[in-house]
Amino acid sequence: MFSRFRLRNFGFKLFILVILAGTIGVLAVGSAEPSIQSKQLIGMVFGVCMMLFISLFDYTWVLKFYWLMYLLNLVLLGLVHSPLGSSANGAQRWIKITESFKFQPSESAKILLILFFAQFIMKNREKFNTIRVIASCVILIAVPLVLIVTQPDLSTTIVMAAIFCVVMFAGGLSFKVVFGVLAVAIPALAIVVSLALQPDQQILEDYQQDRILAFIYPEEYATEEAYQQLNSVTAIASGMLDGKGYKNNEITSVVNGNFISEPQTDFIFAVIGEEFGFKGSIVLVVVLMGIALECIGVARKAKDLSGTIIAAGMGGLIGVQSFVNLGVVTFILPNTGLPLPFISYGLTSLLSLYMGMGFVLNVKMQGKR
């Protein structure tokens, strides 16, 4: 049940990077919305404790319950669509536990599905590239994706689909299959996007279509859908090299001027860019990139295929979600509503990431010598 703990095998570099990212998150949230800084700090402390606790378990023992994880995930995602589900801004993505506490199952789903497929692929590794196994994997990921996209939450669905691709590749998917899928998927995606931009389309929700149009024609949506992204870019640019300073009093700042609604969530990087400038922004990007690369390094030295998939999946999660969030804030991607890992306010996302990192540290401690 417990892995044999050797201090020299502990992933100190990964641990330090995660702590550094969490600390930056606490500081940034404290500047964006001081009233919730204590919650972010408590979430970080509790998350770190969970991460260290999970790192002591033998992940191969935990993965024995992979079907239970999958079913639990479906139950939680299903409850979002039940009377227990809570909605905001036209989307029903949360389970209401108490008046002040909500749980977002789509965040924990990312971790649970990585763990599930780590064991499922491990069990079927000898015949992984057969049509039956690949089709089974696609069906198994399709069920939770449908539950998420109907919340609606298209951005999380896309990120989870990307993580699934990383997991499949780490599991040993044949390059023939990869190139075959790309040959079909890229033209199909182009057709879907083209159809989704038509006035009478029924593929996307209206607000989703508006976000894409705002990205393509920002000047026409400058006071509506493109408003936050345009202000975000302005805020980051105003920080220049050294920034305006932590918790500055300038009325034109993104926080004091209320140019972005709830900057502590998806647009937290705008606060960091403005207050800490280019130098601070680069530090954050390097930290997040370092976490993703450390996970990939752990994957390469894992003792078995399931460990490789866990570490690679978490690396893919941090890398993909960070790229998408930063792309939105800097206006090189349409607005998606995804949090920045370890930085944005949101306790479900924060705790789920720390749990995932706990499993990566576990893989690291049991890796090849």
- The tokens for 290 are 């370092």
- Token pair 């039956």 is found at 132
- The tokens for 107 are 């965040």
User: According to the model, what pLDDT value does residue 205 have?
Assistant: 67
Task: Report the alpha-carbon distance of residue 256 to residue 32 in Å, rounded.
Answer: 9
- The tokens for 283 are 């530090």
User: According to the model, what pLDDT value does residue 183 have?
Assistant: 81
User: According to the model, what pLDDT value does residue 117 have?
Assistant: 95
- Amino acid occupying residue 2: F
Task: Report the alpha-carbon distance of residue 99 to residue 96 in Å, rounded.
Answer: 7
User: According to the model, what pLDDT value does residue 193 have?
Assistant: 67
User: According to the model, what pLDDT value does residue 298 have?
Assistant: 93
- The tokens for 2 are 């417990």
User: According to the model, what pLDDT value does residue 10 have?
Assistant: 84
Query: Mapped to the 3 state alphabet, what secondary structure does the chain carry?
Result: CECCCCHHHCCHHHHHHHHHHHHHHHHHHHHHCHHHHHHHHHHHHHHHHHHHHHHCECHHHHHHHHHHHHHHHHHHHHHHCCCCEEEECCEEEEEECCCCCEECHHHHHHHHHHHHHHHHHHHCHHHCCCHHHHHHHHHHHHHHHHHHHCCCCHHHHHHHHHHHHHHHHHCCCCHHHHHHHHHHHHHHHHHHHHHHCCCCCCCCCHHHHHHHHHHHCHHHHCCCCCHHHHHHHHHHHHCCCCCCCCCCCCCCCCCCCCCCCCCCCCCHHHHHHHHHHHHHHHHHHHHHHHHHHHHHHHHHCCCCHHHHHHHHHHHHHHHHHHHHHHHHHCCCCCCCCCCCCCCCCCHHHHHHHHHHHHHHHHHHHCCCC
The strands making up 102-103's β-sheet, listed across from edge to edge, are 85-88, 91-96, 102-103
pTM of the model: 0.89
User: According to the model, what pLDDT value does residue 136 have?
Assistant: 93
User: According to the model, what pLDDT value does residue 283 have?
Assistant: 94
Mean pLDDT by 10 residues, the chain (369 residues): 66 94 93 89 94 90 93 90 72 73 86 95 90 92 90 84 92 82 77 69 67 71 74 85 80 68 85 90 95 94 92 94 91 84 90 95 83
User: According to the model, what pLDDT value does residue 17 have?
Assistant: 96
